[in-house]
Structure 1
Amino acid sequence: MRVFFNARHDAHDVKAEFYHGQTISALDDPRRMGIIRDALAHKVAARLVDPTDHGMAAIRAVHDAGYVNFLSHAWQDWNNAGFDGAAVPGVWRAMVTGIGDANLNPGDKSAHAASVLPDQCHILKKLGQYAYATDTPIGDGSWQAAYWGAQTAISAANAVMKDGEASFCLGRPPGHHAHRACYGGHCLLNNAAIAAQHMRAMGADRVAVLDIDQDHGDGTQDIFYQRGDVLTVSIHAAPDNHFPFFSGYAHETGTGDGLDTNLNIPLAENAGFSGFSDGLGLARQKIIGFDADMLVVSLGVNAHEVEPLGTLGLTTENYFAIGQQIASLGLRTLFVMEGGYAHDVIGQNVVAVLSGFLGGIGSNP
């Protein structure tokens, strides 16, 4: 398996984040990538590949132009305003309609952020416009890391499209919480969505995105919610009591051309492998029925039993079985790294998924 490695990921090195009323050490720590890389080197026949710079076109095909301009200048604007430390929002515009309103299309949640702000606006206004959570500080190298994370996803997508061999996009920050025009959940650019859209642009007819991170892939859902050419499926902890809280419900199935091309499979706390496997069975049926010719897997391993925010209770052995089930789809597959923050197990859990997948290729759906 080829592992496209974002060697510039460590430029995003914020030291702390605000979580549940406390300042804690940043969960998305740069050490995560080295742990996974080293684990792969010892356990999987992986070939490290340096990504190619493909420029901005594929990023702009997914993300709002004003939002991208904000991200690329946020740190400079923050410094120019005289602030120290990482950039975090301090104020948000109040919304008359709550984004948790059951009658509001998930695709509308970031619509307020799509309006263009004048460049001279104060950075706190821009942060309040584009951030939806306090957990994603922006530091000196955050844009560089995010940009190269996207290039890593594009390069890996190109490789899968070219010869069909499975590839793994290993980079950070993660991406599946990044909407078309807002950010949160440690995510700035949506690498999985960028890869899926790039595959479509390169000639793939129908692309499926399968998100197995414990958190709902709200950003990916938002980006493709009104489209029928990309199927989005997310298996995650039920949002009533879990981030991102306001999306991930089963009734969110898409709208317009995207009607019935979004599937959410929320799981109860401590669902374990039995519940997750049942959910994956539903996901597989949906993907098979969609007749996808390419698969992008948002690979999060934060549902493990020792993860700091884990609630589903999966084990490393479970992740091996999950990899086998994904392989049984028989699709050309790109894995994109998402969450997973327990340093003691993140490497072995990623290895388990990819080993299960590589060992399961060729089995029947």
Structure 2
Amino acid sequence: MKAILDDRQRKHDPQNFMANGVISRSPEQPARIDVLKSGAQAAGYAFAEPKDAGLGPIAAIHTAEYLSFLKTIHARWTRIDGAAPEVIPNIHPANRTDSYPKSAIGQAGYHQADTACPISEHTWLSAYWSAQTAITGADLVSGGENNIYALCRPPGHHAFTDLAGGFCFLNNAAIAAERLRQKGHRPAILDVDVHHGNGTQGIFYRRGDVLTVSIHADPARFYPFFWGHAHERGEGEGLGANFNLPLQRGTGDDDYIKALDIALARVADFGADILVVALGLDASIDDPFQGLAITYEGFRRIGDRLRNTGLLLLLVQEGGYLSETLGDNLNALLKA
């Protein structure tokens, strides 16, 4: 079985993460790659490097204005007298329709939703190759190969068309799904990360050609707070093509699998031929974010359900942070 990884993804090494007013090192660390890679290899996956499909597939999802920002903002930021090594916003517009400033500080606030997505010298390079990893995975699945694992880092599902957030810069799962759609497929995205895939939802919210489904901890009291509620069904042509299944904090294996069965029934009713799985492993009972309580056996059962869909699967890595069971949980799911 094939897995995709580019080592340039290691170069993004965010140092700052603010939560509850406290600044600490970001949990989205390069060391995640080693743990996840070992877990996948133990499940029989062999790693290859992605091909470079260029900027086109990325620009099919993200605006040119936003891509220009990601590519240039760090160099511009370093010219600010006394600026910190990482680009971290301190002011935000009230609405996306507010005026677009020329200032690097103002543009950072416009394009970065929170303090969890600091941009350093190598962020664009790593995000670009993370996206290419997902694109190569999509091309392999489109060619008829199955169970492709794209080890994407930094993750992507909190990134909107022109907005970074929650450790994410380019929306890898959305880029992969659009790549598949343009190749004539009918993709669905199933997000199993503990956090709602708000960027993915936002990208496709007014479209009916890609189904977006997310199972996650209830955002009423959990990140990303403002998105991921059950009443959010899509708008316009996308009405009914977005499906959220928020779960009570601490939900364990049995109730999670019940929600997963409901989610997969919706995927079947959409008539998808390929399932892009936004594979967050932070639903684990051992994950630092402590949103849900899925065990090793629970991840095995998730993998079993995915296999039984009979669909071609592209597994795109999202969250899942350093713990003693992170690699084991990926291993359990991939083996199944």
Q: Tell whether the structures are fold-level matches, with TM greater than 0.5.
A: yes
Deviation string, structure 1 residues 51-82 (Cα, Å, up to 9, x no partner): 01111000100011111110111111111223
Q: SS where residue 47 of structure 2 aligns?
A: strand
Cα distance in structure 2, aligned partners of 1:93 and 1:247: 18
How many angstroms does 1:6 deviate by?
A: 2.3
| AA at the equivalent of 1:196 | A
| AA at the equivalent of 1:19 | A
Equivalence for 1:313: 293
Map 1:185-334 → 2, pairs under 5 A: 185-204=166-185, 206-334=186-314
How many angstroms does 1:202 deviate by?
A: 1.3
Deviation string, structure 1 residues 313-361 (Cα, Å, up to 9, x no partner): 11111101011011111101100000011232211111111111xxxxx
Q: What percentage of residue pairs aligned between the two structures are identical?
A: 38
1:12 paired with 2:12, answer yes
Q: SS where residue 137 of structure 2 aligns?
A: helix
Map 1:21-32 → 2, pairs under 5 A: 21-32=21-32
Q: SS where residue 146 of structure 1 aligns?
A: helix
1:112 to 74, 97, 104: 97
Cα distance in structure 2, aligned partners of 1:271 and 1:19: 23
Aligned pairs, number: 335
Equivalence for 2:323: 343
1:149 to 106, 114, 130: 130
Unmatched segments (≥5 aa) in structure 1:
96-110, 357-365
Q: TM-score, normalised by structure 2?
A: 0.97
Equivalence for 2:120: 139
How many angstroms does 1:19 deviate by?
A: 1.4
Cα distance in structure 1, aligned partners of 2:18 and 2:291: 20
List, as ranges, runs of 4+ consecutive aligned residues in structure 1 with deviation greater than 4 Å.
none
How many angstroms does 1:140 deviate by?
A: 0.8
C-alpha RMSD of the superposition: 1.3
Cα distance in structure 1, aligned partners of 2:84 and 2:25: 17
How many angstroms does 1:163 deviate by?
A: 2.2
How many angstroms does 1:203 deviate by?
A: 1.6
Mapped contact 1:6–1:172 kept (Cα < 8 A): no
Mapped contact 1:253–1:261 kept (Cα < 8 A): yes
Deviation string, structure 1 residues 299-322 (Cα, Å, up to 9, x no partner): 001011111112211111110101
Unmatched segments (≥5 aa) in structure 2:
none
Structure 1 residues 112, 353: CA separation in 2 closer, same or farther (over 3 Å shift)? farther
Cα distance in structure 1, aligned partners of 2:55 and 2:140: 19
How many angstroms does 1:165 deviate by?
A: 2.1
Cα distance in structure 2, aligned partners of 1:230 and 1:71: 26
Mapped contact 1:35–1:343 kept (Cα < 8 A): no
Map 1:73-152 → 2, pairs under 5 A: 73-82=72-81, 83-95=83-95, 111-112=96-97, 117=100, 121-152=102-133
How many angstroms does 1:45 deviate by?
A: 1.4
| AA at the equivalent of 1:63 | H
Cα distance in structure 2, aligned partners of 1:169 and 1:324: 19
Map 1:62-81 → 2, pairs under 5 A: 62-81=61-80
Q: TM-score, normalised by structure 1?
A: 0.89
Structure 1 residues 92, 322: CA separation in 2 closer, same or farther (over 3 Å shift)? same
1:181 paired with 2:159, answer no
Mapped contact 1:297–1:334 kept (Cα < 8 A): yes
Cα distance in structure 2, aligned partners of 1:3 and 1:142: 22
How many angstroms does 1:155 deviate by?
A: 0.6
